[in-house]
Chain A
Amino acid sequence: MNAPYRMETQNLSVYYGKHPGVQNVSLAVHDKKITALIGPSGCGKTTFLRALNRMHDLNPIVRVEGKVLLDGEDIYAPGVDPVAVRRRVGMVFQRPTPFPTMSIFENVVAGLRLVGIRDRRRLFEAAERALKMAALWDEVKDRLDKPAVGLSGGQQQRLSIARALAVEPEVLLMDEPTSALDPISTQAIEDLLTTLKESVTIVIVTHNMQQAARVSDYTAFFLDGELIEFDRTEKLFTNPKDTRTEAYITGRFG
Chain B
Amino acid sequence: MSLRRRYFRDRLMQLLVYLGTLVVLLPLFFILYYVFVQGIGALNLEFFTREPAPPGEAGGGMLPAIVGSLVVDLLALFFAAVFGIAAGILLAEYPDHPLNPFLRLVSDVMAGLPAILMGLVAFVLVVKPMGHFSGLSGAVALALIMVPIITRATEGVLKLIPWEITEAGLALGLPRWRVISSLVLPAARGGILTGLMLALARGAGEAAPLLFTAFGNPFLTLNPLEPMDTLPLKLYVYAISPYEDWHRQAWGAALILAAAIMLANYLARRATRTGGQPR
B164 touches A95 (CB 8 A): yes
Whether A86 touches B172, Cβ cut-off 8 Å, given contacts A100-B276, A101-B279, is yes
- Of B162, B173, B178, B278, most buried by chain A (CB within 10 Å of CB) is B173
CB neighbours (8 Å) of A55 from chain B are: 167, 170-171
CB neighbours (8 Å) of B186 from chain A are: 101
CB neighbours (8 Å) of A163 from chain B are: 168, 172
Indicate whether A184 reaches chain B with its CB closer than 8 angstroms: no
Q: How far is the CB of B47 from chain A (nearest CB, A)?
A: 43
Q: Give B182's nearest chain A residue, CB to CB.
A: A114
Q: Give A146's nearest chain B residue, CB to CB.
A: B278
B187 touches A83 (CB 8 A): no
**Complex Cα distance A110/B174, Å?**
9
A-B contact count (CB 8 A): 80
Indicate whether A77 reaches chain B with its CB closer than 8 angstroms: no
On chain B, the number of residues with a Cβ less than 8 Å from chain A's Cβ atoms is 23
A93 touches B96 (CB 8 A): no
A83 touches B174 (CB 8 A): yes
Indicate whether B165 reaches chain A with its CB closer than 8 angstroms: yes
**Complex Cα distance A85/B276, Å?**
31
Indicate whether B175 reaches chain A with its CB closer than 8 angstroms: yes
**Complex Cα distance A88/B171, Å?**
10
Indicate whether A87 reaches chain B with its CB closer than 8 angstroms: yes
Indicate whether B183 reaches chain A with its CB closer than 8 angstroms: yes
Which residues of A, 84-130, contact B by the 8 Å Cβ criterion? 84-88, 90-93, 95, 97, 99-101, 110-111, 114-115
Whether A147 touches B279, Cβ cut-off 8 Å, given contacts A101-B186, A101-B187, A114-B182, is yes
**Complex Cα distance A169/B174, Å?**
13
CB neighbours (8 Å) of A155 from chain B are: none
CB neighbours (8 Å) of A58 from chain B are: 166-167, 170
B278 touches A99 (CB 8 A): no
Q: Give B185's nearest chain A residue, CB to CB.
A: A101
CB neighbours (8 Å) of A110 from chain B are: 169, 172, 174, 182-183
A114 touches B164 (CB 8 A): no
- Determine the main DSSP class of B at the interface with A: helix
CB-contact partner of B168 in A88, A99, A149, A169, under 8 A:
A99
Whether A99 touches B165, Cβ cut-off 8 Å, given contacts A60-B96, A150-B278, is yes
Indicate whether A134 reaches chain B with its CB closer than 8 angstroms: no
Q: How far is the CB of A95 from chain B (nearest CB, A)?
A: 6
CB neighbours (8 Å) of A92 from chain B are: 171
Q: Give A149's nearest chain B residue, CB to CB.
A: B278
**Complex Cα distance A167/B169, Å?**
12
Q: Give B95's nearest chain A residue, CB to CB.
A: A60
Q: How far is the CB of A89 from chain B (nearest CB, A)?
A: 9
Indicate whether A35 reaches chain B with its CB closer than 8 angstroms: no
Whether A100 touches B165, Cβ cut-off 8 Å, given contacts A114-B178, A147-B278, is yes
- Interface residues as binary, A140-177 with B (CB distance below 8 Å gives 1, 0 otherwise): 00000001011000000000100110010100000000
- 20 A-B pairs whose Cβ atoms sit less than 8 Å apart in the complex: A53-B171, A58-B166, A58-B167, A83-B173, A84-B173, A86-B173, A91-B167, A93-B171, A97-B168, A100-B187, A100-B276, A100-B278, A110-B169, A110-B182, A111-B173, A114-B169, A114-B172, A147-B279, A164-B171, A167-B172
Q: Give the B-binding residues of A (Cβ under 8 A).
A: 53, 55, 58, 60, 83-88, 90-93, 95, 97, 99-101, 110-111, 114-115, 147, 149-150, 160, 163-164, 167, 169
